[in-house]
């Protein structure tokens, strides 16, 4: 692959549909790849956009009683807003209704017609409105559209149209695919295309009569016809790169490094598009990469089944960066993957909340309390420090290799493994114990915390293209410079600056607790009131089995602050073993926030989450009260957080 530039495209999305997870996945994937290449200094051009012509758009506009242009001007905003929300950094957004695109399409059509690559003929065959394609009788699957994922009814049409001499390029295309193994990826999609080409390739109908479809780009040589939507849409990849409008830009960016597509549009991109380019005399794209579908369980997402994931709603609920991370980590490129909320929450809690977020909290808390909030000096690395260094640098190298191999899931898995190893390192070295030894172990403590922080610096830099917002926050906490990380420094150990002030400690990834409904928190006070009214006169006895249902754990209080607008409430961040939780406690009248930091308390860990004054609380601290006095229940002696009580 040409390493002097990186030009990546998504399909242009049909504006009649509301953006779904498939659209989001392809676009986030392109964004992550573009961000990685920018980090390594490769000139990068990232293109996405919308396909706005065709019969379905015209029908939708007619149904609404508006002009097609007005219809697409309204619907395109859904894509533009989603890409902004998902932190997509495309360099261009092309619409097929733009004059710059229509002019290029018409110039191409006129040139091909003048060279007899396009001719007029009568046609009699079957037509699928959804796919906007003609099929012969033998192409149909049980009398219906044969396209993967379609299977809808077709209608018989007899009419005059214009045809592109696609069949003349059949053998050339076979030869090109066989001579260029990376042209179509993954390999089984390459084989699928070659299997399609074993059948006789017919010429491609590239027009529609205005009497049947008026919404399209008019043929420059016959004003009674408009262009077939695919002969229009595919051209976007060269229009935006400057073809026939900016020779210098086109020479810089074309051919494309990657066309990212879903497997359902494989034929149009690996048969129609290459033959069109060949007829134009242009170079082929370097790689056409077809990814799989997102499934719900074993079923394909479908509007008719009501199981389509709304990416905007999901990102609003759980955060943009965790959503981006899950999509990149969960799907092995080329294969189908299953999307469930349970799978998302499991990965989020395990890899982001428990591992990465908890690691940051541990390190920054100890730096804050033992080194005045500044990155400590690093002494000589011992065996365990060297081991963590080697694991971290290997994970960084593996991430770089995974980008080149289009296996982002493997690279992210290696980084997640390095985070787990860093947490194991902390458990082995026990910096909290070193801190209690005072000056005797101060230098060693500094080395341990520096080593852990340096691992976070490198890992966060490699995670940055996938989670740019959260990793920027993490790096600022570590005292790193704002902006994109210096990629070269991510392959070298020792880039964390000793003496640099760390930022404000924060919970980057609060643990997600499954909710039964948004009103659960609001109903809690009412339930409590009823329980008080029904209180028995004597002591209520319970079985031992009832007591065992309560999970009590020791916790260390990391942060405390008042809840805005509530005199009695404090919002606490507590460490429970390897995770950090947020708890709301009604103890503000008895404890100043700063007096709670470092205390070991008892948490009811399996209490259902509740929302109190708009703040989510995941558990309850035990306290004893007498008259107007309140004291937290604490442990006699020291135990690590997360110890079971009972």
The structure tokens 């399409």 sit at: 105
Whether pLDDT at 420 is above 60: yes
pLDDT of residue 381: 96
Whether pLDDT at 146 is above 90: no
Give the whole-angstrom CA distance, residue 6 versus residue 256.
7
pLDDT tens digits, one per residue of 431-470: 999 999 999 999 999 999 999 999 999 999 999 999 999 9
Is residue 556 very low, low, confident or very high in pLDDT (cuts 50, 70, 90)?
A: confident
Whether pLDDT at 208 is above 70: yes
pLDDT of residue 535: 39
Whether pLDDT at 505 is above 70: yes
Asked if 229 and 206 touch (Cβ cutoff 8 Å), the reply is: no
The per-residue pLDDT of the chain, averaged, comes to 89
pLDDT of residue 528: 29
Is residue 188 very low, low, confident or very high in pLDDT (cuts 50, 70, 90)?
A: very high
pLDDT tens digits, one per residue of 464-485: 999 999 999 999 999 999 899 9
Q: How far apart are the first and last CA of the chain?
A: 62
Cross-strand bridge partners of residue 616: 611
The structure tokens 């395109």 sit at: 76
Whether pLDDT at 545 is above 90: no
Q: pTM score, two decimals?
A: 0.78
pLDDT of residue 530: 32
**Percentage of the residues of the chain whose pLDDT score is greater than 70:** 91
DSSP state of 116: T
Give the whole-angstrom CA distance, residue 266 versus residue 246.
29
Give the whole-angstrom CA distance, residue 186 versus residue 181.
10
Length of the chain (residues): 646
Least confident of 143-152, 411-420, 601-610: 143-152
Whether pLDDT at 302 is above 70: no
Phi/psi of residue 37, nearest 5 degrees: -70, -35
pLDDT of residue 467: 98
pLDDT of residue 446: 97
Q: Which token pair is 365? A: 């808390």
Do the domains spanning 342-491 and 522-645 agree at the CATH topology level? no
Mean pLDDT of 376-405: 97
Least confident of 59-68, 70-79, 407-416, 506-515: 506-515
Using alpha carbons, select from 539, 470, 461, 459 the residue that is nearest to residue 510: 470
Asked if 574 and 556 touch (Cβ cutoff 8 Å), the reply is: yes
Strands (E) in 166-257, as ranges, are 184-185, 204-205, 207-209, 218-219, 222-227
Whether pLDDT at 637 is above 80: no
Using alpha carbons, select from 290, 87, 297, 308 the residue that is nearest to residue 193: 290
pLDDT tens digits, one per residue of 121-142: 998 878 887 777 778 787 888 8
pLDDT tens digits, one per residue of 243-267: 999 999 999 999 999 999 999 999 9
384: helix, strand or coil: helix
Whether pLDDT at 608 is above 60: yes
Is residue 533 very low, low, confident or very high in pLDDT (cuts 50, 70, 90)?
A: very low
Whether pLDDT at 303 is above 70: no
Is residue 521 very low, low, confident or very high in pLDDT (cuts 50, 70, 90)?
A: very low
Per the model's pLDDT, the better-predicted residue between 573 and 551 turns out to be 573
Mean pLDDT of 372-390: 96
Class of domain 342-491: mainly alpha
Instruction: Dump the DSSP string for 602-614.
Output: EEETTSPPEEETT
Is residue 514 very low, low, confident or very high in pLDDT (cuts 50, 70, 90)?
A: confident
Least confident of 112-116, 351-355, 496-500, 532-536: 532-536
pLDDT tens digits, one per residue of 66-124: 999 999 999 999 999 999 999 999 999 999 999 999 999 999 999 999 999 999 999 88
- List of long-range contacts for 187-192, beta carbons under 8 Å, 24+ apart: 188/334, 189/263, 189/266, 189/270, 189/290, 189/334, 192/266
Least confident of 205-209, 611-615, 619-623: 611-615
Using alpha carbons, select from 102, 67, 94 the residue that is nearest to residue 216: 102
pLDDT tens digits, one per residue of 328-364: 999 998 899 988 899 999 999 999 999 999 999 999 9
pLDDT tens digits, one per residue of 210-240: 998 999 999 999 999 999 989 999 999 999 9
* Residues 522-645, CATH architecture: Beta Barrel (2.40)
Whether pLDDT at 540 is above 80: no
pLDDT of residue 541: 59
Residues 6+ apart with CB under 8 A from 405: none
Domain ranges of the chain: 342-491, 522-645
Give the whole-angstrom CA distance, residue 106 versus residue 221.
9
pLDDT tens digits, one per residue of 12-31: 999 987 899 999 999 999 99
Mean pLDDT of 175-193: 97
Mean pLDDT of 265-283: 97
Strands (E) in 194-251, as ranges, are 204-205, 207-209, 218-219, 222-227
pLDDT of residue 616: 85
Cross-strand bridge partners of residue 630: 625
Using alpha carbons, select from 423, 258, 321, 36 the residue that is nearest to residue 329: 321
Mean pLDDT of 309-321: 91
pLDDT of residue 532: 36
Whether pLDDT at 522 is above 60: no
Is residue 376 very low, low, confident or very high in pLDDT (cuts 50, 70, 90)?
A: very high
């Amino acid at each position: 692959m040409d390493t002097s530039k990186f030009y990546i495209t998504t399909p242009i999305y049909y504006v009649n549909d509301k953006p779904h997870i498939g659209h989001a996945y392809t676009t986030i994937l392109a964004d992550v790849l573009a961000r990685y290449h920018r980090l390594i200094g490769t000139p990068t051009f990232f293109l996405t956009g919308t396909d706005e012509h065709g019969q379905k758009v015209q029908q939708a506009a007619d149904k609404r009683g508006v002009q097609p242009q007005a219809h697409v001007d309204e619907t395109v905003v859904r894509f533009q807003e989603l890409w902004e929300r998902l932190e997509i950094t495309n360099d261009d957004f092309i619409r097929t209704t733009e004059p710059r695109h229509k002019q290029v399409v018409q110039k191409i059509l006129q040139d091909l017609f003048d060279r007899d690559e396009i001719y007029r003929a009568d046609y009699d065959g079957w037509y699928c409105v959804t796919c906007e394609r003609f099929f012969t009788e033998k192409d149909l699957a049980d009398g219906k559209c044969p396209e993967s994922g379609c299977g809808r009814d077709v209608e018989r049409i007899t009419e005059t149209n214009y045809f592109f001499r696609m069949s003349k390029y059949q053998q050339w295309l076979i030869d090109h695919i066989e001579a260029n193994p990376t042209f179509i990826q993954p390999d089984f999609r390459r084989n699928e295309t070659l299997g399609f080409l074993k059948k006789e390739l017919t010429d491609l109908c590239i027009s529609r009569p205005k009497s049947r479809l008026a919404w399209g780009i008019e043929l420059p040589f016959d004003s009674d016809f408009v262009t077939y939507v695919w002969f229009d849409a595919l051209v976007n990849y060269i229009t935006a790169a400057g073809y026939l409008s900016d020779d210098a830009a086109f020479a810089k960016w074309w051919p494309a490094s990657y066309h990212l597509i879903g497997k359902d549009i494989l034929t149009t991109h690996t048969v129609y598009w290459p033959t069109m380019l060949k007829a134009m005399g242009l170079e082929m794209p370097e790689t056409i990469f077809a990814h799989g579908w997102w499934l719900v369980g074993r079923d394909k997402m479908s509007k008719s089944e009501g199981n389509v994931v709304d990416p905007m709603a999901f990102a609003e609920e759980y955060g943009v960066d965790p959503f981006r991370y899950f999509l990149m980590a969960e799907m092995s490129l080329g294969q189908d993957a299953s999307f469930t909320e349970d799978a998302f929450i499991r990965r989020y809690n395990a890899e982001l909340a428990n591992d990465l977020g908890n690691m940051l909290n541990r390190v920054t808390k100890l730096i804050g309390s033992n080194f005045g909030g500044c990155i400590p000096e690093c002494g000589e690395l011992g065996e365990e420090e060297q081991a963590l260094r080697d694991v971290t640098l290997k994970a960084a190298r593996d991430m770089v290799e995974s980008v080149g191999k289009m296996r982002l899931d493997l690279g992210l898995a290696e980084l997640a493994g390095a985070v787990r190893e860093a947490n194991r390192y902390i458990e082995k070295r026990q910096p909290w114990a070193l801190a209690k030894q005072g000056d005797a172990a101060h230098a060693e403590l500094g080395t341990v915390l520096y080593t852990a922080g340096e691992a976070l610096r490198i890992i966060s830099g490699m995670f940055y293209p996938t989670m740019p917002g959260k990793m920027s926050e993490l790096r600022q906490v570590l005292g790193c410079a704002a902006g994109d990380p210096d990629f070269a420094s991510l392959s070298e150990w020792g880039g964390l600056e000793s003496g640099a002030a760390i930022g404000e400690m924060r919970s980057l990834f609060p643990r997600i607790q499954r909710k039964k409904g948004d009103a659960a928190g609001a109903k809690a006070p009412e339930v409590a009131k009823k329980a008080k009214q029904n209180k028995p006169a004597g002591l209520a006895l319970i079985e031992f089995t009832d007591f065992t249902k309560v999970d009590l754990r020791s916790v260390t209080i990391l942060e405390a602050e008042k809840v805005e607008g509530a005199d009695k409430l404090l919002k606490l961040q507590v460490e429970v073993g390897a995770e950090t939780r947020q708890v709301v406690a009604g103890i503000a009248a008895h404890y100043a926030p700063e007096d709670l930091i470092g205390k070991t308390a008892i948490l009811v860990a399996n209490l259902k989450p509740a929302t109190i004054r708009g703040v989510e609380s995941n558990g309850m601290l035990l306290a004893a009260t007498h008259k107007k006095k309140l004291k937290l229940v604490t442990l006699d002696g020291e135990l690590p957080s997360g110890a079971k009580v009972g």
